[in-house]
């Protein structure tokens, strides 16, 4: 309360929420989080994530954190392009026993878990491209906060796998940075995705992975918005993994509506859906529209 009373009255409630949030997420003992080594009293955070968790505006959060630095509640550092706050006098706010005992107990517990079972060691993720993965996650959080249930380490692991296993480059129009930016801005608000953990999972149609669908959406918006173009040209935007176009009317329409497109990205084909029918389907609802629609010219040849 002494700390809060030092700040302007209009922001004291927000400051209390932010202080509690930082204290709650701060490390109780030395460890690694999101590929970053943290000490007791340190917390890996983004201002946008804190703002959303505390139901405070982004600008107010930035102002409050700036004030917290001035009153020496915390100090701030950048590590691998991530923000790290160090709570000054952390033990004044958190009393959970001696640190040495906590660290010793944690190490013993870890060793016991690692040697139990059928000789299998507990998997601990070690990032292969920590700086790039951290940067990609930071890009995501600059547009949308991670859900409280999200595991930052697992998010970084998936981003790293996109590069190592799926061979997706970090930069470029269809790279991981672009995918994170697009997903956070367009997919998260619509509830299509919650965190980077889902990027390598299959879409609802089960015909490709989500990151591939995002790449196609980026391409459909045109190369003029993404200098440099794609590393591999895509012949059809709505297609199966082998490159063949999806010609079945209902599946094609559902994909267009799912991506919130206003026009069929594959123009000039017999299976191309007209803009008028896309508008009607959005207005009437898919089921109602499909029941009452008339087959489009050339549609009977699509199969």
Q: Other CB atoms closer than 10 Å to residue 145's CB: what's the count?
A: 21
Which residue, 92, 115, 138, sits at the end of a domain? 115
Considering the domain boundaries, does residue 142 fall inside one?
A: yes
- pLDDT band at residue 142 under the 50/70/90 scheme: confident
Final residue in a domain of this structure, among 82, 115, 148? 115
Q: Give 212-245 pLDDT, tens digit per residue.
A: 999 998 888 754 443 333 334 446 778 876 778 8
pLDDT at 212: 92
- 240 inside domain: no
Inter-residue contact 266 to 254 (CB < 8 Å) = no
Give the C-alpha distances (Å, rounded to integers) separating 226 from 8, 73, 142, 188, 223. Answer: 44, 42, 19, 21, 5
* DSSP state at residue 261: -
Q: What is the pLDDT of residue 152?
A: 85
Q: Which residues pair with 32 in a beta bridge?
A: 37
Tokens linked to 222: 């045109």
Quote the percentage of the chain above a pLDDT of 90: 12
**Which residue shows structure tokens 């991981």?**
176
**One domain for residues 214 and 255:** no
Structural domain span for residue 61: 4-115
Are both 83 and 186 inside the same structural domain?
Answer: no
Structure tokens at 189: 């608000």
Residue 120 within a domain = no
**Last residue of some domain: 202, 234, 266?**
234
Give yes or no: residues 54 and 21 share one domain: yes
CA distance 13 to 56: 10
Total of domains in the chain: 3
* 266: enclosing H helix or E strand: none
CB 298 within 8 A of CB 270: yes
Question: 229 vs 179, which has greater pLDDT?
Answer: 179
50-103 tens-digit pLDDT: 888 888 888 888 888 888 888 888 888 875 556 888 998 888 888 775 444 444
Query: Which of 84-88, 146-150, 299-303 tops mean pLDDT?
Result: 84-88
pLDDT at 176: 94
Indicate whether 239 belongs to any domain.
no
Q: What is the pLDDT of residue 79?
A: 59
Q: Are 239 and 231 in contact (CB under 8 A)?
A: no
Find the farthest-apart pair of alpha carbons in the chain and give their distance in angstroms, rounded: 77
267 part of a folded domain: yes
Query: Does pLDDT of 255 surpass 80?
Result: yes
pLDDT value at residue 100: 46
In-domain check, residue 9: yes
Flag whether 290 is in a domain.
yes
pLDDT of residue 179: 94
Q: Which residues pair with 33 in a beta bridge?
A: 36
Q: Give yes or no: residues 9 and 79 share one domain.
A: yes
């Amino acid at each position: 309360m002494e700390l809060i009373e030092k700040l302007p009255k209009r922001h004291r409630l927000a400051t209390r929420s932010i202080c509690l949030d930082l204290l709650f997420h701060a490390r109780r003992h030395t460890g690694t989080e999101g590929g970053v080594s943290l000490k007791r009293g340190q917390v890996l955070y983004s201002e946008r994530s804190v703002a959303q968790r505390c139901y405070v505006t982004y600008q107010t959060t930035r102002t409050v954190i700036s004030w917290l630095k001035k009153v020496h509640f915390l100090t701030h550092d950048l590590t691998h392009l991530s923000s790290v706050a160090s709570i000054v006098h952390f033990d004044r706010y958190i009393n959970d026993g001696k640190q040495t005992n906590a660290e010793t107990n944690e190490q013993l517990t870890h060793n016991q878990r690692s040697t139990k079972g059928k000789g299998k060691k507990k998997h601990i993720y070690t990032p292969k491209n920590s700086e790039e993965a951290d940067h990609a996650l930071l890009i995501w959080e600059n547009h949308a906060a991670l859900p409280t249930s999200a595991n930052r380490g697992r998010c970084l692991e998936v981003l790293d796998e996109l590069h190592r296993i799926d061979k997706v480059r970090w930069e470029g129009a269809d790279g991981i940075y672009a995918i994170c930016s697009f997903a956070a801005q367009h997919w998260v608000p619509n509830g299509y995705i919650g965190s980077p953990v889902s990027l390598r999972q299959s879409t609802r149609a089960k015909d490709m992975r989500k990151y591939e669908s995002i790449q196609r959406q980026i391409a459909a918006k045109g190369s003029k918005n993404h200098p440099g173009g794609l590393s591999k040209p895509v012949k059809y935007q709505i297609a199966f993994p082998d490159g063949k176009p999806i010609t079945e009317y209902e599946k094609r329409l559902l994909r267009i509506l799912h991506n919130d497109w206003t026009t069929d990205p594959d123009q000039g084909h017999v299976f191309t859906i007209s803009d008028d029918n896309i508008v009607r389907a959005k207005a009437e609802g898919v089921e109602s529209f499909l029941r009452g629609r008339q087959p489009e010219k050339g549609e009977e040849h699509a199969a």
